[in-house]
Amino acid sequence: MTVTSLKHRIGYTFFLMAAFVSRILPRDAALALGAHLGGLGQLILRKRAAIAAENLRQAFPEKSPEEIKDTLRAVFRHLGISGMEILRVDLLKGKSDLNRYFSISGLEHLQEAFAMKRGVIILGGHIGFWEGGAFFLPALGFPVDCVAKRIRNPFIDRFFEKMRTTNGTHVLDSKKGARRILRALSQNRGIGILLDQHITRREAVPDTFFGRPVWTTPVITQIAMKQGVPIVPINVYRTKDYRYQVIIDPVILLERSDDPEAVIRNTSLLTANIENAVRRDITQWFWVHRRWRTPK
């Protein structure tokens, strides 16, 4: 056994202990515990807290230091709850949990997109309960795959893949995803994409997010433009009583073109859509992520 493998096994053991606690508790108790752990995380993860605070100040220069402080506290509580939700996503079952916990608006937009028979790109970001689509979309009868990065620890990676696929969602590796995405779209499946992460310059196009320059992958834009695939933005916001408001926005159909400038313009359009979704509740985005980095 290599040193790396041993570290992975030890890390997985501690991970399983945390997962066990989150799953054995009643749902509301587990999420409330997550909120408290998130508050503790703000004190322990000082570097991440500093990144989030700076991101918030840059995005909202009009906010006072006290407002930034309050928002930061809410962000970490949200992240703690999110951790619990992700560890429990496979415990959600059937129509009963769908009706109990989820309120959905704009369902007609998703139905319209699937009726085109071209597959559907489901656009989102790390907003609210972003893993929730692995449950409620199959529960609504929509075939869906999600594109995800592999976790370095293979044991933890397999744990999350099993949870995501429990209700019928397939997982596509982001590094090997293009061909599989095209195949799934040809089968009129939905492809869930989170488009709000930093990507290296050599794989990206220039973009703007909250008024600051970023790099964004153009792959999704290129597929949608070439294949005429409809894009449906979907975001899941947590309410104060630990329920969820799913907002499905109108279908986006991008112009068919090979023009590189059109790709950049349309990628910016999708990024702007995510920014608007974040602005609906700024406490429920992943502000600890270094989305804005010095270009390289």
Dist. CA 165–CA 168, nearest whole Å: 5
pLDDT tens for residues 164-216? 888 888 888 877 667 889 999 999 999 999 999 988 888 899 999 999 999 99
The two tokens of residue 53 are 């605070």
Residue 235's H or E segment, with its range, is strand 231-238
pLDDT at 295 over 70: no
Q: In angstroms, rounded to a whole number, what is the distance separating the alpha carbons of residues 277 and 4?
A: 39
- Delimit the domains of the chain by residue range: 3-284
The string of pLDDT tens digits covering residues 49-99 is 999 999 999 999 999 999 999 999 999 999 999 999 999 999 998 899 999
- Side-chain half-sphere exposure of 109, counting CA atoms within 13 A: 19
Distance CA 137, CA 14 (A): 31
Alpha carbon distance 246, 123 (integer Å) = 13
The pLDDT-based confidence of 229 (bands split at 50, 70, 90) is very high
pTM for this entry: 0.93
b/e burial code for range 35-58 (CB count within 10 A of at least 16 → b): bebbeebbeebeebbebbbebbee
pLDDT band at 1 (very low <50, low <70, confident <90, very high): low
d(CA 68, CA 53): 7
Residue 144, strand partner residues: 190
